[in-house]
Amino acid sequence: MQVPILKQGPYLIATIQSALTDADIVLLRDALVERVGRDRARGVIIDVTALDVMDSFATGTLQDVAQMVRLRGAETVIVGIQPDVAFAMVHMGLTLEGVATRLDLEEGLDFLNRTTRASAHR
């Protein structure tokens, strides 16, 4: 199940629509890192609302995405972590440290608008 990546202005939006296998998550990682360059994107939003489980592999790979995208010069924000998923993550000790998270797509866009504009003015 491949994750569609939409370009919206200077941002890429990846909306996960169902449970993903480990291979699917790795494909998503590679596609996003590549598309940041091809589309000259400033920011990436990954919407995980429909993801059933955020286990150690999913969390670790999303953390890798955020760091790789940052090395490519763009920002990543993860949106839509559900309450039950957040509960399981906290108990597992999966903190997504160093990765920006926001409630939903709207908040994610707002975050990117602020952070990428701030860096453009530096």
Partner 1 sequence: MKAPYVTEEACVTVTTDADIVTARMRGRAMAIHLGFRPTDATLIATTISELARNILLYAGKGEIAIAPIEQGERRGLSVVALDEGPGIVDASRAMQDGYSTSGRLGLGLPGVRRLMDEFEIDSCANRGTTIRVKKWNT
Q: Which residues contact partner 1 by CB under 8 A? A: 19-23, 52-57, 59-60, 83-85, 87-88, 91-94
> How far is residue 104's CA from residue 40's CA, in Å, rounded to a whole number?
24
Nearer CB in complex with partner 1: 96/100 = 96
The nearer residue to partner 1, 98 or 118, going by C-beta atoms, is: 98
**Nearest distance from C-beta of residue 33 to partner 1, angstroms:** 19
| Cβ pair 46, 16 in contact under 8 A | yes
Work out the widest C-alpha separation in the chain, in whole angstroms.
40
Cβ closer to partner 1: 8 or 21? 21
Phi, psi of 18 (to 5 degrees): -160, 180
